[in-house]
Amino acid sequence: MRPKIDVRGISKTFHTRRGPIRVLDDISLSVGDGEFIAIIGPSGCGKSTLLGVLAGFEPPDAGEVRVDDVPVREPRRTGIYIFQQPSLFPWLDLEGNLVFGLHGIRAEARRALVAHYISLVGLEGFEHAFPHQLSGGMQQRAELARALMVRPEILYMDEPFGSLDALTRLRMRTELLRILSRERHTVLLVTHDVEEALQLADRVLVLSPRPARIQTVIDVALARPRSLSSPDLLALKASLLKELGVDESSEGAP
Amino acid sequence: MSGPDRRWLAALAPVALLVVIWHVAVVASQSLIFPTPWQVVLGLVNLAAQGLLVKHVVASLFRVTYGYLLAAALAVPIGMLMGWFATAHALLNPLVQGLRPISPIAWIPLAILWFGVGDLSPIFLIFLSSFFPMVVGTAAGVMTIDRKFLRAARNFEFTGVRLFRSVVLPAALPQIVTGMRIGLGVAWLVVVAAEMIAINSGLGYLIIDSRNAGNRYDLVVAGMVTIGLIGFLLDSLMRRLERLDEIRWRYET
């Protein structure tokens, strides 16, 4: 089967005042249509840079990213990037934000879409609330709804729940799974949360410290919903932590 | 007593105190020339009864309106260009920063030379005084737009005019409005000074004429009080604009 996203040998170097910093080193990867990939790695390893290159925000120095066999040169509305801090437009109410990316669509159809996605992310009754009147979790759900409104094929999620408290983060994970079970998308998720990666993804990509290389790929062939306490998942968690250089057994030891 | 009532009381108490001190000071010093608050009120009533108060207020507001709107019409687009295009900023910013510190009062001789002593001179001076705060505010507003908004807009494939209208303008609007509020305040300050050059209407003229024609200090102070009240009113109107949902977000945490 032809891959949805095909990444061939991308590298990237940042030129700073203190000299060049190689961030991405010859990364190749292929993502199937509808697949959920989690990208995990030590902080500062270049995860976000990788996602930015994949989404077309930054050009790679070498290599190429193709979506549906077409080279990616600019960000497209067919692939929406969701950042850690919600980028809802504060001067628009929720409804205004949701319809932002739509144009050339008749008012009736637009209203139906708004109603559909507001209910999908559970924000009924907040149509006319402004972003600053919503909690962090609600803002992140609104951000997701705004992305889904344009019917993207790919979601690029850059630690989307990173700024939320632990409880909201757990809840958002379940929400995301529920939404994706209704509307399948290809998802690339950057995270530093091992459990998040294992609970959500079909495959987990482990990146090495800078310059980022793909160190390992872990297949998570477990049915969803996945319990965090199932033996299979705990086993995967242990091997993933080992890949990341964290030895659980020594934690808390003197 | 409800909250708003208490606020009004808090705002008016120092004013009342000042009026009392003023009255006592005039009476105690037995000044023949400086008016008591009551004489100023009578002066105001007198001016109003003759239709002079309205005439001078309208004349001043007319000049401010022209100069200010002209300045806004030029300053906002120029400021946006400077904020958006690095080249425009590099070209224009030194000029703006060099002209900005020159008090509009210093321009009076040139204004007379170029525009004579009619309405055009004060309008030109008001234009100058309010233009710079608005250019600077607008440029700063555009330059400090949070990158994440531009990134999101780029993701939804917004470019050119649509990007400007849908993202750049609304994102910079709070600071544009603040610049416009400051500009209006300065315009109102400057109109009075500008009307003191050979012109025969406006609140500035009223003040200088009342002094020259028989030391009518009651009318001088009446003119000053009117200027203060109208300035306060203009600023309140602009502040009301800042509280609109489309603008207020900038000041919410």
**Residues A194-221 pLDDT 10s:** 888 888 899 999 988 888 888 888 888 8
Residue B199 in this model has a pLDDT that exceeds 60: yes
Does residue A65 register a pLDDT over 50? Answer: yes
pLDDT over 70 at A251, yes or no: no
**How does residue A1 score in pLDDT terms, banded at 50, 70 and 90?**
low
| A83 phi/psi in degrees, rounded to 5 | -95, 165
Tokens of B251: 């000041």
Interface contact A81-B155, CB threshold 8 A: yes
- pLDDT of B1 reads 57
A-B contacts at Cβ under 8 angstroms: 53
Give pLDDT tens digits for A181-198: 888 889 999 998 888 888
Helix then strand then coil, in percent of chain B rounded to 5, is 85, 0, 15
- pLDDT reading at B44 higher than 90: yes
The reported pLDDT for the residue numbered B64 is: 94
A136, A161 in Cβ contact below 8 A? Answer: no
Q: Considering only CB atoms, which chain B residues are within 8 Å of A77?
A: 155-157
The structure tokens listed for A187 are 């998802």
pLDDT at A250: 54
Instruction: Write phi, then psi, for A248 (nearest 5 degrees).
Output: -60, -35
What pLDDT score does B94 carry? Answer: 95
* Of A252 and A198, more confident: A198
pLDDT beyond 90 at B130: yes
ipTM over 0.85: yes
Say yes or no: A100 contacts chain B, CB-CB below 8 A.
yes
pLDDT tens per residue across span A71-110: 999 999 999 999 888 889 999 999 999 999 887 778 888 8
For B118: left if phi > 0, alpha if psi spans -120 to 50, otherwise beta; the answer is beta
- Using the predicted structure, report yes or no on whether residue B116 has a pLDDT greater than 70: yes
Bridge pairing between strands A62-67 and A214-219? unpaired
Which of B146, B154, B249 comes nearest A130 by C-beta?
Answer: B249
Closest chain A C-alpha to B159 CA, distance in angstroms: 12
Whether residues A89 and B154 touch (CB distance < 8 A) is answered with: no
Q: Which of B253, B232, B220, B231 has the alpha carbon at shortest distance from B40?
A: B220
Contacts of B154 in chain A (CB under 8 A): 57, 74-75
B145-157 per-position pLDDT tens digit? 999 999 999 999 9
User: Does the beta carbon of A14 lie under 8 angstroms from any beta carbon of chain B?
Assistant: no
Q: Which pLDDT does position A248 carry in this prediction? A: 61
Per DSSP, the three-state class of B2 is coil
Residue B19 has pLDDT above 90, yes or no: yes
Residue A77 and residue B157: Cβ atoms within 8 Å? Answer: yes
For residue range A111-144, list pLDDT tens digits in order.
Answer: 888 998 898 888 989 999 999 899 888 898 899 8
Q: What is the DSSP letter of B74?
A: H
CB atoms within 10 A of CB A182: 7
Number of residues that this document lists for chain B: 253
Please report the residues numbered 48 through 77 in chain A whose beta carbons come closer than 8 angstroms to any beta carbon of chain B.
Answer: 55, 57, 74-77
Overall size of chain A counted in residues: 254
Please, which pLDDT band fits residue A253 given cuts at 50, 70 and 90? very low
Question: B156 and A89 in contact by Cβ < 8 A?
Answer: no
When mean pLDDT is compared across A151-155, A235-239, B149-153, B232-236, the lowest value belongs to A235-239
Q: How far apart are the first and last CA of chain B?
A: 30
pLDDT recorded at residue B185: 94
- d(Cα B80, Cα B90) in Å, to the nearest integer? 13
Does the pLDDT at position B170 exceed 90?
A: yes
| Domain residue limits, chain B | 37-251
Percent of the residues in chain B that have a pLDDT greater than 70, as a whole number: 98
Confidence band of B4 (pLDDT split at 50, 70, 90): confident
Please report the pLDDT score of residue B179 as a whole number: 93
Answer whether A91 sits within 8 Å of B171, measured CB to CB.
Answer: yes
Full DSSP string of chain A: ---SEEEEEEEEEEEETTEEEEEEEEEEEEE-TT-EEEEE-STTSSHHHHHHHHHTSS--SEEEEEETTEE--S--TTEEEE-SS----TTS-HHHHHTTT--S--HHHHHHHHHHHHHHTT-TT-TT--GGGS-HHHHHHHHHHHHHHT--SEEEEESTTTTS-HHHHHHHHHHHHHHHHHS--EEEEEES-HHHHHHH-SEEEEEPSSSB-EEEEEE---PSS--TTSHHHHHHHHHHHHHTT--GGGTT--
Q: Looking at the predicted structure, is the pLDDT value of residue A254 above 50?
A: no
Three-state secondary structure call for residue B243: coil
Candidate from A18-22, B54-58, B87-91, B182-186 with smallest mean pLDDT: A18-22
pLDDT digits (tens, 9 = 90+) for A2-29: 788 999 999 999 988 888 888 898 999 9
State the best of B155, B158, B245, B250 to mutate against chain A, taking most chain A CBs within 10 Å: B155
Residue B249, pLDDT > 80, answer: no
Dump the DSSP string for B154-189: HHTT--HHHHIIIIIHHHHHHHHHHHHHHHHHHHHH
Q: Which CATH superfamily is domain B37-251 in?
A: MetI-like (1.10.3720.10)
CB contact under 8 A, B148 and A83: yes
Q: How close, in Å, is residue A6 to chain B by CA atoms?
A: 20
pLDDT at position B226 is: 93
Per-residue confidence band for A252, with pLDDT thresholds at 50, 70 and 90: very low
Which tokens belong to A97? 């934000």
Contacts of A55 in chain B (CB under 8 A): 155
Residue A177 has pLDDT above 90, yes or no: no
| Average pLDDT over every residue of B52-67 | 93
Q: How far is CA A253 from the centre of its chain?
A: 34
Per-chain mean pLDDT for chain B = 91
